[in-house]
Structure 1
């Protein structure tokens, strides 16, 4: 169906005059008449009757009008869905509750005029980079080896997060009253992180962290969600887990969970923004500037980074 003809039909229906519709559309009255006639021929019905007072909708014209308006609305939405600056900026994060997701939420609060679509794609950094390259997403926040790994030409990265860790324990845990702990103090304690997929960059990070400090990080078993994990830790005198300092988790007051900084050295999880350098979306520049402005200097203490992040 010719959408220009549909748009002309709606203009005539709203104006009630072919001449006024022509002025609104900046075309001749003859062009308006031709478009309407072509549409009537395609539909096999008359849409207007001409009277001394102008153009009156027929019964078929009245029936078609709401559908014509919807066709134009769909056209506008389709255009906005792909046009840079009009469609939402689509950004991938591993988890909406960790630092990357929290920063995106803060970015949206700072720039509420920017339409933002936050997604959590399945897969690791390889899949995320492929999605950026294909244009499925505008950007992703993932761990990337430094110096930068070999990436396709249009792909760019910038390190935007160095997130310290906290130990999360219940009130009966042996370290519950500590103001801070060192990685060495965690040796011998069971750090429970179930459901972490092997061969991912985050699993590799915790494998390296465990090897560096002799930690027991238990990744075995299915994950039943963060709520179930928090409930188990609250009820246990032995279980603990590691969370990012910038992550946001909520739990009932009765859990009395404790978030204890890990220092001397402070393990840092480095994350980078990954995007296509030729992506014209204007909001992408705003996002990059915002993340750069929020970049927090490393803690005023000795730090530990994985080999690929040094």
Structure 2
């Protein structure tokens, strides 16, 4: 069924004049007449009768009108749902328990009028997420292209915030009683981070981290999810893992897991936001400004090479070093 023919029928029925309907729709009266005639042929009924004052609905037209209105309303909602600038702001996060999602939730709680669609692209290669921004599938992605020269010219990448890392261990781990740990204290301990994907930004992060502090990061085995990882930590006397301080994890109280900050220096994972260089979704402005309200990290913070110095954003959207 031609939805524009249905729309023409609805406006003609509401206005009682084909010419007025045509003027509203930006077409000729002849076009409206042809659309309605084609719709009548498809339905096999007469929808209008002509009068001296215009058109009036037949009984079939009266029966069809509320359904036709529903059809048009549904089409309009569908178009709005996918049109940049009018649909909800769609942002890709690495996971719904990640620091990125937590910060977006904090922002939304303060600005509940924001129409926000938080999605997770199941991809490890940041270039795939970048392609989704270019295609308009998402308005922005919390990913990092560690080589600025590899970022497409029609996109910009801003420094959103830096996420300090914590060590998570079970109650029998030798470091479980520590209130804070320095990177040298982690040496010799097995840090299990399963599923580090080659070519991912976090693979490069862990390569630099282990080289800098002579740490043992074990990426063996597939990633079966947070629940399996936490189960393993609770039962182990020698395995720990690294998580972001803002990452949200939930486990049974019987696990008695410990989250221990890393200090002197703090180890931080830099999180960037990639968005279109021109005409970004207007909802991004408030979220980007929100990054500036996040608490600053200590001066003694280790960051990987691509984020060792502050970055500046373009135009009136700037990045923030946290």
TM-score, normalised on structure 2? Answer: 0.82
Shift of 1:36: 4.4
Distance, in Å, in 2 between the alignment partners of 1:204 and 1:197 is 10
Q: Is the 2:19–2:29 contact (alpha carbons within 8 Å) kept by the matching residues of 1? A: no
2:130 corresponds to: 129
The answer to whether the 8 A contact 2:169-2:240 is kept is: yes
Helix, strand or coil for the counterpart of 1:206?
helix
Task: Name the counterpart of 2:229.
Answer: 229
Size of the aligned set, in residue pairs, is: 301
Matches within 5 A, 1:207-226: 207-226=207-226
Quote the residue 2:313 is aligned against: none
Q: Report the equivalent of 1:264.
A: 264
Alignment of 1:268-279 (within 5 A): 268-279=268-279
Residue 299 of structure 1 is matched in structure 2 by 298
Cα contact 1:141–1:271 (8 A) shared by 2: yes
> TM-score, structure 1 length as denominator?
0.85
8 Å contact from structure 1 (residues 166, 261) kept in 2: yes
Residues of 1 paired with 2:96 and 2:180: CA distance? 26
How far, CA to CA, are the matches of 1:207 and 1:217 in structure 2? 9
Unmatched 5+ stretches in structure 1: none
Indicate the residue corresponding to 2:86 in structure 1.
86
Alpha-carbon offset, residue 45 of structure 1: 1.8
Given the superposition, is the C-alpha separation of residues 131 and 3 from structure 1 closer, same or farther in structure 2, using an over 3 Å criterion?
A: closer
Return the alpha-carbon distance in structure 1 between the equivalents of residues 120 and 24 of structure 2: 46
Give, in angstroms, the shift of residue 232 of structure 1: 1.2
The separation in 1 between residues aligned to 2:119 and 2:152, in whole angstroms, is: 23
| 1:18 alignment partner, one of 10, 16, 19 | 16
Alignment of structure 1 residues 81-230 onto 2, 5 Å: 81-121=81-121, 122-145=123-146, 148-230=148-230
In structure 2, distance between residues paired with 1:3 and 1:41: 15
**Cα RMSD after superposing both structures:** 3.0
Shift of 1:186: 0.8
Runs (5+) with no aligned partner, structure 2: 309-322
1:305 positional shift: 1.5
| Secondary structure of the structure 2 residue equivalent to 1:142 | coil
2:160 is paired with a residue whose SS is strand
